[in-house]
Structure formats: C-alpha cells, structure tokens
Structure 1
C-alpha cells in the first residue's frame, strides 16, 4: 500500500506542471502524510481506494484524483451478475439535505422531492460526509453535484452492495429493495438521442442540448448540428439556447466544428497563456521530458460569417454545476469573444482549467488509477478573476424541472431585448 501511495505522488509530480496548484503545498504534503498513516495494514482494493481517495478533495481539481480505472464497466458487470445498487437518483440541496429526484435510471417515483433523513439507521448527514471525503472536483459545490450524480457508486464502494434499504423520510420509514436499473449517469452516455437533442420552442427560439463533447463518431454529431442550424435558418429563428449544463467535456473539435462554425463572427482561440509539463515522447523543439514550459495560444480559428447556415441571432449558453473540462473552455470562449451570454448558476468550477489528462498511471498493487493533467490553460481573455465560472445572467436551476431555467431565461429581459 505504501508503494501505491508513492506511485501516486510520483505520477502526479512527473506529469502535473503545478502539483499543488489548487491545494497549496502544505495541504498537499499533509494529504500524503495522512494517507501514509492509514496504510499500515493489508486491505482490499475498495478499502485502499477510500484511503487514497481521501486526498481527492484536497486537490480541488476534477482532473486530478485517485479513481477506479473503469467504474462504468465495473458497474455494468456488477448489475449483469445480479448485483444491486441504491434505488434512487438523488440531489444534495443548498442546506446539505439528501433528496430523492427519480428512481434509479430516471424512472418516476412518488417519493420525488422527499428528504432522506437516514439510510439503514445512519444519518444522511454522516453518509454525505463520509462519501464526500472521497470525491474529486474543483469546489465543494462541484463535488456535491458529482456525489449526487454517482451516489449509487460511492455508496456501494464505501458500504458494500445491499439487497434492501431502510429509509427514514420525516416520520415515515420505508423498506425499499435495491435496484438493478442502469443509473442515469451511465445510460445517458450510451444513447446519442439522450446526449444530443434539438427542438424549436415558441417564439422562434431554438434549444440545442449538448451533454458531452466526447461522442466517438464526431461526424454524426456534426451532421446533427448542421441539421439543427438548417432548422434555425428555415424557421427564421431569432434566438438560440445551447444547454451544456450536464456536459462534462471531451474534445474541443466538437464544439469548434459543430457549433462555433455557425455562430462565431470574429477570430477566436480557446485560451491564452498556458503552463505544461513536457512528457516523454511529446517534447517540442528545444524541450526535453520533465521541463515545465510556459507559453501562449497563438493559433486563432477564423470565423465563417458567409456560411449559409451562419446564425446571427441572440445566443445563450446554459451552464450548470456539471459543466466541466472542454465545456468550460467552450463557455470561456463564447463569453470572452462575445458569441453568447452565459446563463445559470456559477461558482462551481475554475475557469483556469487543467487539461490533457493522462489515464495511464495504474497503481501496481491495487490496480487503482491516478488521473493527472499535464497543462493548465488560462481563458482567452487572460483574466484570472473571477476565478470561478460567473454567468452573465445568474438564474437558479431546478433539479426537479430541467425546463425551469429555460422558462426563466425566456422571461428575462435580456432574452426579450432586440
């Protein structure tokens, strides 16, 4: 176990240009010292993960953490072999209350909106505290959202698989069987139709939902957005809403080619200054592996204002506390270049994003993985304040009604202004 811990530190410090960027050096060192003190005896992989992942919140970066190398495949295998999971999709509200949103997988339930006071006799506040101690992410708000999204995973990996759950919701005690449904976090990744949607709303407004920039068949996505922008043209649309509230990132090419080619009206870039660690096999002229190099993004993408599907109406990008990685670079780019107004609730993720994550560092004994970024990129404007995402139009989201933010925006003066 001590060997795995040292492997984690070596992997981070050989890959990350600024290992203590978000934690500070003292907290970074202390996290490793604390983990070292807990790894004095043999333990299972899940037990080791709970210790090592205890460093994740200290890193304050959703691109840096100790994770299960393929938790998606492991979850599917668990379900296929007859295993069960916690039976609800949940959210954690602003008062740190655990509340039911849907049945696991997105099915309806009469318990939607109910607060869970305890599970199997353990107070929900304690459960959230214990599970949250292993979650990676930029801020507490981001980690809460990620924990809620994968609550079934963290509960399983912390307390083990169970067949039934006893839930207390107020004065009511419920006996609920565990579920075998595929969680939304996984089901939504498998269906193109769930990941990408377009529809026209009343009043000549288009709503384009893009839940990821990582679809393997990029051409299918480009064909989809081309049809969407053709519909906008044919409908004489005056406004476009682009919903990336659940977009965890992917490849910048997808939004450059699939979206910005239709709305950009000036040259743009996705960042400004950067700092990177030079990795083996990736050294440029005058560089060698291990160097920390600073530089500037000098490549500008030219707009296509004469494209027959160019959209010149108002554009609003809806962001949320699952918007991350390449989706943050997208929101930075449209905001800094004036291509769109950001709408939603901010304060959950850093605009100065880490990236180029390396997923090759598998711990030698436990088989866990440490994911590490190799560069840090400033937003196109170069501004570092505000440090966290700040929408131009701040509107609260409603986890029980995904259309509430859309309605609120359409009623906002900025959406109605000519």
Structure 2
C-alpha cells in the first residue's frame, strides 16, 4: 500500500510539473503583454491609496510607457516577468510588485520535473558582492565565506545587478537582503537553470569551482510549517532570555499565544532581567499575534499601533457610509490599556532585535515598542519605512498568469510624522550572514558590559 501511495504521489507531481512547464513555455503576443500592462496599471490605480508614498507618479507613468513601447511578440511567461519586474525597484515598496502567483509551487514543480537550481545559499552585500553562505538548503559548505568573482563566465557583480534590477522592496538594503534569501529564484528566472555552474572565487582565479545544479529544497522554503523552526525561546545565564519570532503569520494563533505565555511564565520563575525579542527575519503577518501575544506582557502604559491611516475603499460599506473607490484618511484614536491584573507582565529590560528582513507587521511591532518606550531597538536599520503599507491585494494579469500585489492602506507610526521615516534602531548591532547568533551574542555582551559599568 505504501509503495502504491508513493507511486501515486510521484505521478501527481510529474503531472503538475508538466502542467507548469507547458504554462511557462506558452508564448504571448505584444498585444497580450500590453493588455497585461494595462491591467497592472489599472489594478494599482484602483487599489493603492497613494502611490506617491513610495514612487514619483510621473516616473512610474514614464516607466509604464517605456514598457508599452518595447513590448514584442513571442515572449514566454518568464520573459514577460523579466520586463515587467523592472518596475519593482522603482515602486520601492515590499508590498507593491509584479511577481508570480505561486513561486513556491513553481519551484516544487520545477524540482519534481528534474530541474535544478543555483547550488549555494548566498549573501548579497550592499555594494553588490556575493558571498557563499552554505549549500542550497542550508547544509554546511566548504566554500562558506568565499566571495564569488564570476558565475559561468560573467562577473558576479554584473549578475547581481541584473537580479537587483527586478527585486521589490523599500530600499536598496531591503532588496539586497531579499535577493540574498531568494537568489536561487531570481537567478533561475533571469539566467535560467543550467545543469552545471562554474565559479571563480575571489583570491583563487586559477582554481575555478565546478558544480552541478542543485535539486535541494531552498532554505527559505524549509520549515515554514514547523512551529519550532519559526518560534523559539531560551533562558540564558545571568538573567537573560532570547525569544525568536520569525513570523507573525501563523495558521494557529492560539499555539503562538500559548508559546508566549509559557515563555513569560518561565521568565517570571527564573527572575529574568533582560529579554531579547529577535524579529530580524520576521516579514510580518497578522498584527493580532503581537498585539495579543507580546504587548500585554511588556506594555506599561496605554498605546496605539499607528497614528493615522490612508485607505482605499474596495467594496461599498453602507454601515460606514463608504463607497468603493474612495480614498479616506483619518487619525487612529483607538488606544489600548495594559492589563493591570496580568501577573506575568515583564518588568525587566526589553530589547527588540531588528534587521534588514524585518517588515510589515514586524515593523509596526517595532514602532510601537520604540515610540512608547516599552523597550529598545537594536540591530541594522534604515531598510524599511517606519510608515507601512498593508491590506495587500492580489491582482491577476489575464494573459500571462503573472500577478501584481498592491496594498490598499498606509499606516503612519504611532508617534506621527515628526519621527524618522525609516525604522532606525537605538543601538547599532551588525548582522553576520554566516553566523545568525553573532548579533545576539554581541548584544548580550554589550548589555553585560553596561551592567558592570564598563
């Protein structure tokens, strides 16, 4: 029976892979591409409340016109994406971009069909240099730490620039971080998926490294449904603790609430004095997770999670006297008081560790902690705007099967317009892509030195 089940699964995966290949191989006319471009423009115009939040509307209009003029016949889906995705850096918002409807599913089907991917996990520096971090999937690599000088005969920095030219996100730092985690995807979609690679490492020009493409599942797609890989808590010596929260998007919020309550109970028993909440890789999700799972334990005064909103109304709402198409703005006057009778409130020092990957709801959490002084922000900053878009909508492009993601509202941080436009930590702690624990160690060492007055 088990053998039969495996055969069925393989058959289904093969069928899906064939479907995916057929879809990707379909060719489109210039008229179809222009129609999708018009759908892109119309979809954003009907959804986004104020595109000038992240891009000059005139520059955006010019970029759209340039794409209309250069549309041509015979492009497959990836080629159309390569053209339209040049809008992504210009749009400069992690919630506003041209992409694939299901890039994870596309990857699974590509691998199931025998396809391969770039064989390394990498880190892209702000200056465009590419460093090997691990084997694709996260296994240790003998080349970890080495910088790539060339990839299949092309200068590595040139390859980086062709990929960054299609990555979405608020800032160059954000886009370099996103590219680091999805290099294999962008390289596949822009440069194809060759069976073999030749690399020249910096400092070793006469000893090229030859590697076949990898069939491993990329690290960013591993453990996404594993609670223990997304959330972790550890009590440390000297009254410290670290809580790692990789996402605020979880299918079972009750399990997260139970996790945080258990952690704060342990800290009370252990008389913990310092809590580090690590959200460096947290790309956001549901605000309810941090509003109900974290803030009640650390808030000591009334707070609000934003000061002002601007939103696009997508559906008529007679009860609120709102009509589809309207753009509305207003102050957020809803304040939440801390739970006066919660015996588990943490009274020690809270440090929220942020990074280039902190985004969306995780930025709102960091804003609230910083603006109301519930804790200190540490880490790397100026990657994401402190005012965040949200309510992301999927806009299907009718011919190519590509999609546009667009937000429908903008939230201003709790302290209002006088604060920094970017999420900027109070303490600068560098991240190390080769050692995810280095920033935590550096922060704990700094706090220990402060405690003894060094």
1:235 aligned residue (264, 270, 275) = 270
2:47 is equivalent to residue 15 of structure 1: yes
1:145 aligned residue (163, 177, 186) = 177
Which stretch of structure 1 is more off in the superposition, 329-338 or 281-290? Answer: 281-290
Shift of 1:385: 3.8
Cα distance change on mapping 1:284 and 1:55 into 2, 3 Å: farther
* 1:144-223 paired onto structure 2 within 5 Å: 144-170=176-202, 171=205, 172-223=207-258
Shift of 1:336: 0.6
Aligned equivalents of 1:309, 1:338: Cα separation in 2 = 19
Aligned equivalents of 1:58, 1:144: Cα separation in 2 = 15
**2:442 — aligned with what?**
408
- Matched residue SS, 1:28: helix
Shift of 1:190: 2.5
Shift of 1:282: 4.9
2:408 aligned residue (374, 388, 391) = 374
1:35 aligned residue (41, 64, 67) = 67
Asked if the contact 1:49/1:67 (under 8 Å) is kept, the reply is: yes
2:333 aligned residue (298, 305, 312) = 298
Asked if the contact 1:264/1:305 (under 8 Å) is kept, the reply is: no
Cα distance change on mapping 1:48 and 1:125 into 2, 3 Å: same
Aligned equivalents of 1:183, 1:411: Cα separation in 2 = 33
2:132 is equivalent to residue 97 of structure 1: no
**1:362 — aligned with what?**
396
Aligned equivalents of 1:21, 1:253: Cα separation in 2 = 25
Aligned equivalents of 1:281, 1:370: Cα separation in 2 = 23
2:149 is equivalent to residue 117 of structure 1: yes
Give the structure-1-normalised TM-score. 0.97
Q: Which of these two proteins has the greater Rg computed from alpha carbons?
A: 2
Asked if the contact 2:36/2:397 (under 8 Å) is kept, the reply is: yes
**2:78 — aligned with what?**
46
Aligned equivalents of 1:17, 1:333: Cα separation in 2 = 23
Aligned equivalents of 2:440, 2:351: Cα separation in 1 = 10
Aligned length: 417
1:289 aligned residue (320, 324, 327) = 324
Deviations 1:43-80 (A, max 9, x none): 11100001111101000101000010110111112122
Which runs of 5 or more residues in structure 1 are unaligned? none
Aligned equivalents of 1:50, 1:108: Cα separation in 2 = 32
Which stretch of structure 1 is more off in the superposition, 95-104 or 54-63? Answer: 95-104
Shift of 1:416: 3.6
Which stretch of structure 1 is more off in the superposition, 380-389 or 118-127? Answer: 380-389
Cα distance change on mapping 1:284 and 1:64 into 2, 3 Å: farther
- Matched residue SS, 1:73: helix
Asked if the contact 2:171/2:384 (under 8 Å) is kept, the reply is: yes
Shift of 1:256: 1.0
Aligned equivalents of 2:448, 2:59: Cα separation in 1 = 43
Asked if the contact 2:369/2:376 (under 8 Å) is kept, the reply is: yes
Which stretch of structure 1 is more off in the superposition, 208-217 or 218-227? Answer: 218-227
- Matched residue SS, 1:150: helix
2:169 is equivalent to residue 134 of structure 1: no
Which runs of 5 or more residues in structure 2 are unaligned? 1-32
Give the structure-2-normalised TM-score. 0.89
Cα distance change on mapping 1:350 and 1:239 into 2, 3 Å: same
Tell me how large the CA RMSD over aligned residues is.
1.5
**1:276 — aligned with what?**
311
